[in-house]
Structures are given as structure tokens and as C-alpha cells.
Structure 1
Amino acid sequence: MTRPTRTINKLHFEDLSAGRFEDLSLALVYRLRRWQDIHHDGRTGADDGVDIRAIEAASDNSLRVWFVQCKRYGTFTAADAKAAVRAAVGKTAVPPDVMLLIVGCDVTLATRTAYEQAAADAGIQMAILWTASKLEAMLYADHPDLLFSYFGVSLVRQERKREDDLRRTLAMKRKMARVFPHDYKPKVVIHSIDDEHYPEVDVAGNGRISSWFRVEFAGHYHAGIEVYLNIEHIIVDRIDGAWAEVGFGANGLDIDIQPEEAFANTRYDVVKVFTIGRIPFKNIFEIDEDGDEYYREPHLYCRFVDHGTPYELVLRREVDGYKEFHPDGRFPFENRDSRNSEQPAEDDSAVP
């Protein structure tokens, strides 16, 4: 079962006002060097094409003049870059030593090249370009205070949440080890935390599983617990190890035919396997160890957040061995006679 990747939303610099974007740029530039002097001319509106002017006190005691242009654009082209250089040097007799162009979007290589060439043609010794991705990396890596001030993103809160999640995971791991000691394999009732049907039967529809059901506890793994879902037969290709569930009916075997007989003289071995669902600790909200008048056995209340199930992974394991068959190696049973073992196995692992 493929797990979705958790991401942090992209920062939207275009949502800042032009003035606020310049303020953010000034804050970043101010921390960049040891400045002899720095002016935010863009705030007054009479900047003569230069939003920030600064004089750097270099390590050799020389002074370098910086011109900074801030462009909060949704897109920024090569023509825009050339225009920014012309505006910066158009009203000065001596070009700056360094020009820094800060834009609120990402740019193409052609735009970057055009900017650097235009700056060189204008006599500027060094041309620097900060794009949206560069700004975002700087804010997350080096300036979390500015990240919070301008975008309300608190890395402190995220760090505390990670710490709280870790504490909760370890506490749940200890609880599971106590409730399910080694070689103890009771029946377990799994509930969705959104279940409203128990103890009545939940007739699942629309491709979802029931909001509560009984399974047998199978054991522990590093990130959670395992439960037995069923026992079934699979066929395993001797050439590449790909496997498929043995299907019956349309595009499958006749119900009266035993799989061992059907594949006796083929490239496939028939293996009897447990279907095992792995429930990570993070998906287990709470456990009722004593159960109730209907089922006096442990009840687990879980978040059904992985494809509408509590399982981060559903795999197959040999009944009489330890070999596991991962979903990535699965192929449709109806392709058993036509599949090419040189091609990668099809992954339809979203279906247990």
C-alpha cells in the first residue's frame, strides 16, 4: 500500500503586498553582510529604480556598493530582468559593484542568464538572483523568526508536535507490548474512530471497508502491530518472484479446481499465505483492554487514514514460513498467461 508523502505548503510570496515583500527583503539583506550603511529607498516611493542601497564593509576594509531590486511578480521573464538592470543603473553615473535581484517567483535558466549578461554589460561586477525557492530555503533553514513574522509558520510548534507525536508513539508501543505479550494472539475488534454502527453490522459500500470488524492479532513490528486478515492462495512466478492472488470466477479459475492442480506444470508455484495488515502506532488512537458485553477482548480505536483503512501496508506471508510478499511485486491474476516477466510487476496494492 503506497503511503502518501506529507509536505509543507509552498510559501506564497505573491500574497504579500509590494511593501511587505520589500520589508522581508530588507530583513534578509540586513542579515547578509556587515554593512557600513543601508537604506530602504523603496519605502518612500522615490527609489530611482533601486529599492535598497547598501555599502558593504569587506574583510579587506574596502567598500562595495550594492543595489537591490525587489520584484513581487507572479512570473518574471528575461525581458523583466533586463528592464530591472536598466532601471537600477539608468540614473547613476557609476554602476554598483553588486546587484541583487529578489523576485517572488521561480525563473527559468534563460531568464537567469539574461539577467547576468545584462548586469555584466552594464558594468556590474557581480549579479545575484534570489528566487522564491531560494527565499523559502533561507527562511526555513536560517530565519524561522521571519518565517513566522511574515507567514505565520512556526517551526517551534512543528518541532513540539513532532516531540509530542514521538512521546505518544512510544507510549502506545509500551501499551501494545503489555496488552499483547509474546505468543498471545487473541481476537481483536478494530473500530474506526468515526464508527457509528457498532454493534450493528456496517455494510460497507463504495469500495470502503467496514467501520468495525474482528481480526486475530498476529504480532508486533517496529512501527506498530500486525493482524491476520485472512488465509488465501497466491501464485508466485519462479522467474521474477512476482505474485498474484488466485482468483475464481470471471477471468479466474473454476471454483471446483484446486490451485495446486491448475498450476502443476506452469512457471508458477502455489503458496498458501496469511494476508497481514500492518497498523502503525500513529494510527491507533486508543485501546479498550477489557472489551464489552458483545466482545470481551481488546478493542482498538484507529484512524482509517491510509486509503480508508488503518493499515499502512497489507502484505502476504507464507503460512509455513517467513517469506513475505510485498505489494510492489503484485500483478493481476488475469494476466498470468500473458505477462512478460521482463516487465515490472503492476502495483495495484491499494486493494488489500
Structure 2
Amino acid sequence: MVSATRTLGPLHFEDLEPKRFEDLCRQLVYDFKTWRRLEATGRAGSDDGFDARGYEIVDADAPSASETDDEEAAVVGIGDRLWLVQCKRERAIGPTKLLQYLDEIKLTEGEILHGIIFAAACDFSKTARDRFRDQCAAMGLQEWHLWGKAEIEDRLYRPENDGLLFAYFGVSLTIRRRSQRADLRAKLAMKRKANRLLRHKENDSVLLRSPDALEYPNAEGIPDFEKRPQWLVRKYLGFNHDGLEFLLHRHFAYLADDEKSWDAMLCCDDAVDLRDDYWRSDKNSRAKRNEAWHAWEAIPEKDRAWLEVVGIVPFEDILDIDEIGEDYFSDPHVYAPFNGKNAPFRHFYARVQSVSTFDPRRAWPSDEQEDRVVKFPAGLRERPDAQP
């Protein structure tokens, strides 16, 4: 239950009316001991300093109130232990005020108090807890329990109290677990489907398509389609723990022997095969690309590399996969929401990897590019515009 509670914000006990807070604490006490009776004395308006009175069954063979129709047997039990429950829905209770509440407890003649549960919608200091313990011991009590906000939350997060958590705060960990289970099953089902339909399509082009792209395949009617497309053709690279990986950008690059220092020519992008993309125009300048090619060919073969930017579409974002395609694009279509400037991609990473099959090397450049060195001409190293 610890992991579940970490995903929830604090419970707002202060939003409960005082009587409702009393009801909550009393209901949490129901399973705390085996009671013959548990009376909500605070509801009557004259509570003699406490909000509930409980009689704990000591004789294990004696029937409880729920096990007998004999009213007298349910009320009177020889050896039953008397407990008092006090509830305070206050934002802060210091040591002095806490002891004052203990002093206000009144018992009728002949009653022997065995234990007390003091519950409050606030946190208690160590000093308050120490003085509470000392005072209870001085009163001759055999058991005492001080429930602050943290203790009450802990009890509410127990599986057996999930109904109370939902009734008072509208939160159900059982429902959350069911929802998580359903989400996980859907994610794993999509992962298995992607593996089945796309495992032979690695390094092939795939169409990423928004379910809202009603204009497909006519891009002419979509304003600024080049910068904010509703569908994209990208090479499928496989999948990792996050989702499906697609090649977004690919540039001529340099990688040093230390597998750390690198440089790249961002002037041209070889990520998209325009023969597969009916809707894209060639953004590369032929002259720039030829110049970049010659600069790349001029460095030793062992230092030649590709800088690749990879985008990831999470499994949970994938709505479906159409492995058949149609006349405009006959390879698989992957349906996912296109939200924001990053289209369907939620995660990205960059890598620089050598082209040599005999000496494969790889580096992982950061956004700060502190390991980037100057290896290529200045006019080729920067990207001419922001390409999606």
C-alpha cells in the first residue's frame, strides 16, 4: 500500500464536519478490537469529554453484540474492558491542550477505564506524544493510542478500509488498482500487437496517423501542414520499454575514438526517404548535401558516423495498428493522437553511432552539447530551420 499512497495527495480531514470526522474515527475503531458494544456518545450532544464508548470483549467465548439476540448479554459482559474514544477535528493541538482534553474525561462511579484512543486531524509533536503517554500512565490506563493525521491516513489506506476511504473522500485504491490493471493489460496487448505486426518492418517506413485527420490523404487543405502535420512517414526502428521508436532526424556526423567527442552537419537531413513519403517536399539543398557528403568522405572511415534523433510513441498512446495500409501508403499505419508541436512523440533521445561494422562505437549527446567539437565547416554544422 505504500506505493499507492505516494501517488495521492494528503487527505483533507479539515473538509469534514466535526460530527462526520467523529463518525469516520469511530468506524475506523470498529475493527481495532473485538467489541461487545461501541456507542457513539458524542452524537447525543452530551459526551462527558469523549465521543465514543466501547466495551472490549475479554472472554473469547462470550458472544458479541452481533452474535446474540439477548440484549442484556450484549450490554453486560463480566470482565469487559472499557475504552473511550475522543475525536478532535482541529488543525493543531499542542501538549498543554492535549493534556487538558485528558483531564476533561469523566467516569461514573465504579467505572474503570482500560484504554483510550485519541484521534485528531493534525500531527502531534514528540513532546506532545511523550506527555500524552506519561499522563495516560499516571491515570492508570493499561492501553493508550494517539492517532494523528498520519496514523488515520495509514489506517484508511488499508484494504479493509477502502470503503471508508471512498465514502468520505471519494478515493478508492481498489478502483485505482482495477484501473491500473486495465491500463497495463491494454499496454501489454498493444506491445504484443506491435511486435506481431511490425517485427519484420524494422528500418522500413511506417505511416504515423492522427485519428482526427479527417482530411487524409489530402494535405493541401490543412494549413501549415509541413510544420504541424496530421500524419508522418517515418522509419520504424523497433520498440523499447517506453514504446515504439521512429527515426526523426539523421545527419552526417563524426565520432572520435574516445566515444565521447562528436560533431555533425545539421544542414541536411536523411531521415525520410521521399520515395515513401507522398506528402513531403525535399528540404535538403542539393548543393549543401553534396558539400556535406564530401566533408564527411574527407574524414577517416573509422570516424564517420550518423547523428540520429529518435522519437518514441508510448504504447498507451497507440490506438491501433493497420498492417494493410491502402493505395496512398501500403505499409502499416500506426494511429496515435497528434497533440502539440511534437506530433505523436512524447520522448526523444539522440545518438551518434559509427558506420563501421568492424569498429562499432556509439555516443549519447546531451542537450547542452558540451562534448561537441568542431570537425566540419561552419556553414554545414547548423540546421537551416526547425524541421518537425
Q: Shared fold by TM > 0.5?
A: yes
- Alignment counterpart, residue 135 of structure 1, candidates 152, 157, 175: 152
Distance 1:69 1:306, change over 3 A: farther
**What secondary structure does 1:272 align onto?**
strand
Instruction: State the 1:54 CA deviation.
Output: 1.7
Distance in 2, matches of 1:247 and 1:79, equals 73
**What secondary structure does 2:157 align onto?**
helix
**Is residue 215 from structure 1 mapped to residue 225 from structure 2 by the alignment?**
no
Aligned match of 2:85:
68
Distance 1:324 1:75, change over 3 A: farther
Name the amino acid aligned to 2:200: H
Aligned match of 2:333:
299
**What secondary structure does 1:31 align onto?**
coil
Distance 1:20 1:234, change over 3 A: farther
**What secondary structure does 2:319 align onto?**
strand
Aligned match of 1:349:
none
Distance in 2, matches of 1:294 and 1:172, equals 25
**What secondary structure does 2:196 align onto?**
helix
Aligned match of 1:180:
198
**What secondary structure does 1:143 align onto?**
helix
Instruction: State the 1:35 CA deviation.
Output: 1.9
CA contact (8 A) 2:48 2:106 kept: no
Name the amino acid aligned to 1:213: L
Deviations 1:218-259 (A, max 9, x none): 013345321112224487895xx878886989xxxxx99979
Name the amino acid aligned to 1:109: K
- Alignment counterpart, residue 228 of structure 1, candidates 235, 247, 270: 247
Distance 1:15 1:36, change over 3 A: same
Bigger share in strand: 1
Distance 1:6 1:140, change over 3 A: closer
Aligned match of 1:44:
44
Distance 1:308 1:336, change over 3 A: closer
CA contact (8 A) 1:69 1:88 kept: no
CA contact (8 A) 1:103 1:131 kept: yes
Distance in 1, matches of 2:254 and 2:105, equals 70
* Bigger Rg over Cα: 2
Counterparts of 1:88-167 in structure 2, within 5 Å, are 88=105, 96-141=113-158, 142-167=160-185
Aligned match of 2:283:
none
State percent identity of aligned pairs.
31
> Number of residues paired by the alignment?
318
Name the amino acid aligned to 2:191: K
Question: RMSD of the alignment, in Å?
Answer: 4.4
Name the amino acid aligned to 1:281: F
Deviations 1:277-320 (A, max 9, x none): 23221121223334455544333222468996644542334354
- Alignment counterpart, residue 277 of structure 1, candidates 311, 315, 325: 311
Distance in 2, matches of 1:243 and 1:107, equals 56
Distance in 1, matches of 2:83 and 2:187, equals 51
Distance 1:228 1:95, change over 3 A: farther
Deviations 1:111-168 (A, max 9, x none): 4334334434544443312223322222222312222332333344333323322332
Distance in 1, matches of 2:230 and 2:164, equals 44
Name the amino acid aligned to 1:172: M
Instruction: State the 1:69 CA deviation.
Output: 0.9
**What secondary structure does 1:97 align onto?**
strand
Instruction: State the 1:216 CA deviation.
Output: 0.9
Distance in 1, matches of 2:156 and 2:254, equals 51
CA contact (8 A) 1:89 1:95 kept: no
* Gaps in structure 2 of 5+ consecutive residues: 61-77, 268-287, 374-387
- Alignment counterpart, residue 330 of structure 1, candidates 340, 348, 366: 366
Aligned match of 1:35:
35
Distance in 2, matches of 1:92 and 1:304, equals 75
Distance in 2, matches of 1:31 and 1:229, equals 58
Distance in 2, matches of 1:274 and 1:134, equals 52
Distance in 1, matches of 2:225 and 2:131, equals 60
TM value normalised by structure 2:
0.64
Name the amino acid aligned to 2:155: M
Distance 1:248 1:173, change over 3 A: closer
Name the amino acid aligned to 1:130: W
Aligned match of 2:8:
8
Distance in 2, matches of 1:221 and 1:230, equals 18
TM value normalised by structure 1:
0.70
Distance in 1, matches of 2:257 and 2:43, equals 70
Name the amino acid aligned to 1:302: A
Distance in 2, matches of 1:89 and 1:67, equals 10
CA contact (8 A) 2:201 2:236 kept: no
CA contact (8 A) 2:263 2:372 kept: no
CA contact (8 A) 1:244 1:331 kept: no
* Gaps in structure 1 of 5+ consecutive residues: 250-254, 338-351
**What secondary structure does 1:314 align onto?**
strand
**Is residue 169 from structure 1 mapped to residue 187 from structure 2 by the alignment?**
yes
**What secondary structure does 2:24 align onto?**
helix
Aligned match of 1:20:
20
Distance in 1, matches of 2:122 and 2:153, equals 10
CA contact (8 A) 2:229 2:343 kept: no
